[in-house]
C-alpha cells in the first residue's frame, strides 16, 4: 500500500486545523453548534449542504437564539453575492429553500428584505471548466425561492405541505434520538434586515415557535424541539 501523497497530507492537516479551530470557538466564545454548522453549510466550498445537515439546522431554527444566528449568517451570505463569490450565496439559497419548507413559518417573513439580491441571482450566468451550468442551477433555485416569498402564499403553503407529507412518510422507517441543548441568548448581536427592538422580535418569535412546533415535519414530539448538533 503506497504512502499518502502530499495533497492527501495537506487535506488531512487542513481538516485537523479546522476541527481544532471549531473546538476552540465552541469552548472560548458564545458560538453555538448550529451557528458553526450553518457557516460550514454556506461556505465557499463547491459542495452544497446535504439533507442531513440541513435537517439539523432546520430543527435548531426552532430554538430562539439559534434562529437569529442562522438567519444572520444567511442574510450575510446572500448579500455577499457577486460573480466571484457566488458559491456561498448559492449554498445559502439551498439552505433557505430547506428552511422555508421545513423550518419555522416566520422564515418567509424574515427574508422578504432579501428579495432584491435573490432576484439579482436569477440572472446569474456561469459554466465551469467541466461544462457544468452552475448559472442555470442558481437561477432555478432563486426563482423557486422568489415564488415562495411572493405575496401569494399558495406556492409556499403547498411546498410546506408537500415537505411535511414526505417527512411524515419517512418517519415511519425509524425515529431520531436527541439531546437537549441549553437556551442561550446574545443581546449584543447585530441582526441584518431586522427593524425594531431585538428583544421584542425574540419574544414574538418564541410565541410563534410554540404555536408552530407541532407542525415541524422533522420532529417526533413537543419535547424534541431542540437538538445537540455535537452529538451527531
Q: Residue 214's pLDDT is what?
A: 36
212 falls within a domain: yes
CATH number of the CATH domain containing 51: 1.25.40.90
156 falls within a domain: yes
Domain limits for position 128 = 33-160+189-231
Number of domains in the chain: 1
5 falls within a domain: no
Task: List, for residues 59-86, the tens digit of each pLDDT value.
Answer: 999 999 999 999 999 999 999 999 888 9
170 falls within a domain: no
169 falls within a domain: no
Task: List, for residues 113-137, the tens digit of each pLDDT value.
Answer: 999 999 999 999 999 999 999 999 9
Of 53, 70, 52, the residue nearest 61 (C-alpha): 70
Q: Are 22 and 36 in contact (CB under 8 A)?
A: yes
pTM: 0.68
Task: List, for residues 19-29, the tens digit of each pLDDT value.
Answer: 555 566 555 56
28 falls within a domain: no
149 falls within a domain: yes
Amino acid at each position: 500500500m503506497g504512502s499518502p501523497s502530499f495533497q492527501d497530507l495537506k487535506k488531512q492537516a487542513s481538516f485537523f486545523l479546522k476541527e481544532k479551530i471549531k473546538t476552540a470557538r465552541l469552548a472560548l466564545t458564545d458560538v453555538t453548534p448550529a451557528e458553526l454548522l450553518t457557516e460550514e453549510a454556506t461556505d465557499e466550498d463547491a459542495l452544497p449542504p446535504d439533507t442531513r445537515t440541513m435537517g439539523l439546522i432546520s430543527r435548531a431554527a426552532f430554538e430562539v437564539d439559534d434562529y437569529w444566528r442562522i438567519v444572520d449568517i444567511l442574510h450575510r451570505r446572500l448579500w455577499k453575492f457577486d460573480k466571484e463569490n457566488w458559491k456561498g450565496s448559492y449554498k445559502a439559497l439551498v439552505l433557505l429553500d430547506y428552511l422555508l419548507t421545513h423550518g419555522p413559518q416566520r422564515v418567509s417573513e424574515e427574508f422578504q428584505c432579501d428579495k432584491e439580491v435573490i432576484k439579482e441571482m436569477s440572472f446569474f450566468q456561469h459554466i465551469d471548466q467541466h461544462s457544468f451550468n452552475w448559472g442555470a442551477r442558481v437561477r432555478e433555485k432563486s426563482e423557486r425561492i422568489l415564488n415562495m416569498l411572493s405575496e401569494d402564499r399558495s406556492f409556499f403553503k403547498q411546498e410546506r405541505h408537500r415537505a411535511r407529507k414526505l417527512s411524515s412518510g419517512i418517519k415511519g422507517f425509524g425515529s431520531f434520538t436527541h439531546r437537549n441543548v441549553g437556551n442561550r441568548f446574545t443581546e449584543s448581536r447585530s441582526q441584518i434586515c431586522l427593524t425594531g427592538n431585538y428583544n421584542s422580535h425574540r419574544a414574538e418569535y418564541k410565541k410563534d415557535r410554540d404555536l408552530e412546533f407541532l407542525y415541524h415535519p422533522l420532529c417526533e414530539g413537543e419535547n424534541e424541539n431542540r437538538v445537540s448538533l455535537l452529538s451527531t
